[in-house]
Amino acid sequence: MAQERPLSLDKSRAMFDRIAHSIAGGESSYARLKKGLELCFERGEGSRFWDVDGNEYIDYSLGYGPLIFGHNPKKVTEAVVQAITERGSVATFPYDLDYQVGEQLVRMVPGVDLIRFANSGTEATMAAARLARAYTGRGKIVQMEGGYHGFSDTHFWSSHPEVFAENPKGYTEVPQPASSGIPAGYADALLIGQYNDRENMEALFAAHGDDIAAVLVEPIQANTGIIPPEPGYLEFLREITKRHGALLIFDEVITGFRVAPGGAQELYGVLPDITTFAKALGAGFPIAAFGGSREVMGMEERNEVMHGGTYTANLIALAAANVVLTEMREHRDELWGRLNSHGTQVALGLGDACREAGLPNIVQNVGPLWHIFFAKPGAPQITKIRNYREALAYSSIDVFDRFHTAMMERGVYFHPYHFERWFISTAHDERDVQQTLDAAADAAEAVARDLKAEGNS
């Protein structure tokens, strides 16, 4: 069994305090840390990283998903160093890498004929929505409650809202801002749907069909843990958008190049009109893209809708992406055999270990993506999570937090927020899997023991 270890974070806390003297909040992305867990990074290699206190962790956060080959993958790093050394970083003109990466991406993703590069998933999604509105001449985008499509004013709505306090009896199509400082007027361009709910989507189109430019959806909802599509649901979205003259946009920022080489659209066989990508595309370097059918992307081809950026398609990011896509194409069976096998082993093993210790849970996974939802007292008696509302009604933040702390003490790291998903990389091996499951069994027993002692079981 895995052994609990004293977890000193003194150096991390001191470094974080120093960072906070000049960096507002001590970090530059709202999701990186959780108050009370100010962990500072020293180095990473393969499936593991070390914090500045010298603690070693098996990593299942992986930079929020980009590190599909693990930390510091040699081929990607060498290509980037060579590009910088021999060619520079950014220029005013296209490179040969533009077509090398572009042609590989188009070849790999079944629903994409033409692409354009961006710097982040947020940018790519903004560009995709603008393109959909320009193509259809309509104003409204449907997003799913509990989804996340970047932090822009146009999309950061109803991500994880307090819906039961506001609307205890049913759904609302009215978006709720997910941050202060977002002008209320942006809500007029959005409608909020419920993932995996066909009747809800039919009602939205019945009421607003002539105004809906597109349905923007994570094909696997991966920002409320992991919620797979119900059988036939993606096909339904494809049919209803076509029926009403709207576009279907897949946000594959998380799922693209991860659940399959061609993303969720390859896995499920449903082709959207536009797709957005980021994360795994750069294996740790900042690159994103959006693309789709030649018909829709023709507006970008003819410069009929504005898209740009100083750092889009910079040499460094393209050098990384070129290696990423080459490796995926040339070794797809080997890589996804490993990702799917190890991911499923960890996911199912986690659930079993926690249930055996007396911690009821639901684990949902799609190959190398998964999440464990711990049941709160009085949670609904369900066997799967279908949407954000069900996740909210079922999930115990307290048990998740306790389990997270116990796993860190046993050398396993995953994101500390209870609705973030777990990732696995091709660098994880059987030793990592076994150590993780041993740690989970020991951690779950410790959490259950503490809950029982406190009278919470």
Question: Active-site residue numbers?
Answer: 148, 251, 279
Tokens of 328: 């995926």
- Burial label, 301 (beta-carbon count in 10 A; 0-12, 13-18, 19+): exposed
| Alpha-carbon dihedral angle through residues 65, 68, 73, 77, given to the nearest 10 degrees | -60
**Which of helix, strand or coil describes residue 310?**
coil
CA proximity to 115, closest of 373, 395, 325, 405: 325
- SS3 for 368-432, per residue? CEEEEEEECCCCCCCCCCCCHHHHHHHECHHHHHHHHHHHHCCCEECCCCCCCCEECCCCCCHHH
**How many angstroms separate the CA atoms of 192 and 174, rounded?**
6
The dihedrals phi and psi of 91, each to the nearest 5 degrees, come to -145, 180
Tokens of 78: 């060498």
**How many angstroms separate the CA atoms of 395 and 403, rounded?**
13
- Burial label, 332 (beta-carbon count in 10 A; 0-12, 13-18, 19+): middle
CA proximity to 148, closest of 75, 85, 220, 94: 220
